Amino acid sequence: MRVVMSTRGFVGVVVDKKLGVGLFNHFDSYPGGLGADVIDFARELKGSALRAFKKNCKSVIALREGAPYAVEGVSDAENALEVLAVLLTTEKLKIPQDRNFPKDSLFCEFAYVLDLDMKTIEFYKGFQDTEDHKPQKGNRFGCGVTKHKGCSGYYPCALIGKLKFSEA
């Protein structure tokens, strides 16, 4: 049995070089939790499943950031993997977007991006405080600093690795 921790994370999907889907994940976003689940999900993205998923991701109806977390057909919209599973078979799904969440690595502890164009998974780590880290050039989420009361600030989550779908 896996112990579920309240570890906030993010799952994004890139289609046509654009981060089109950005999902907040509330629980167990660690690499051994959500990270492993994202890898398992990517393993299934082949042939017609990949084409359908790509088409469905392009058709997502993005709800404004901060909209209530509710997605039709999903019991827990704060479970990014559950939303992705519904997105495999559902067109024009209305999804609350949280594409900016990885920009604040104090709160976003881990992030995973499925790049459907490159067929890769990108892995990001949070807690990129300005005292111990430097901004990452070319970071998908930028290199700006998010300030918080009582601390020096945080850079976006840092890219720590990539994995091809075929190697997952």
- Residues 15-37 pLDDT 10s: 999 999 999 999 899 999 999 99
Q: What is the helix (H) or strand (E) element at residue 162, kind and residue range?
A: strand 158-164
CA distance 2 to 43: 21
Q: Are 139 and 133 in contact (CB under 8 A)?
A: no
The residue with tokens 């579920």 is: 4
- For the full predicted model, state whether its pTM sits above 0.85: yes
Per DSSP, what are the bridge partners of residue 65? Answer: none
CA distance 36 to 18: 24
- Residues 41-67 pLDDT 10s: 999 999 999 999 999 999 999 887 666
Query: In this model, does residue 114 exceed pLDDT 60?
Result: yes
